[in-house]
Amino acid sequence: MTGKLINRMRWRAYHFLKPSTTNNEQQTYGFKSKKTPPQVPELNEFETKMTNMIHNIEFRTPRPSEFQRKLSEHTEAINKDANL
């Protein structure tokens, strides 16, 4: 997912910074181009910071609220009830 975003950003930056490049239209028949975007030096720092930020994400297990605890207790009691 992140790689696709970086590729799209590189293509946009490349075409923005070099609009006069010739457009060699190659027939891809509706498929995406297999060409990789050139690396744009202006985006290098942003790309490294973004990938570092993604790698540093820490997930924690959420604590259930009082309502969720009571609901869990009630469902356990209902499931254990032999009269059902």
**Tens of pLDDT, residues 23-79:** 666 676 777 777 888 899 999 999 999 999 999 999 999 999 999 999 999 999 999
Rounded CA separation 81/30 (Å): 60
Residue 75 lies in a domain: no
Residue 13 lies in a domain: yes
**CA nearest to 19, candidates 30, 11, 27, 7:** 11
pLDDT the model gives residue 71 = 97
The reported pTM is: 0.56
pLDDT the model gives residue 50 = 93
Residue 7 lies in a domain: yes
Rounded CA separation 21/23 (Å): 6
Residue 72 lies in a domain: no
What average pLDDT does the segment 8-15 reach? 90
Rounded CA separation 20/38 (Å): 16
Amino acid code (one letter) for 62: P
Rounded CA separation 27/68 (Å): 57
Residue 50 lies in a domain: yes
Domain, as residue range, for 5: 1-19+38-57
Please count the structural domains in the chain. Answer: 1
Residue 2 lies in a domain: yes
Residue 28 lies in a domain: no
pLDDT the model gives residue 49 = 94
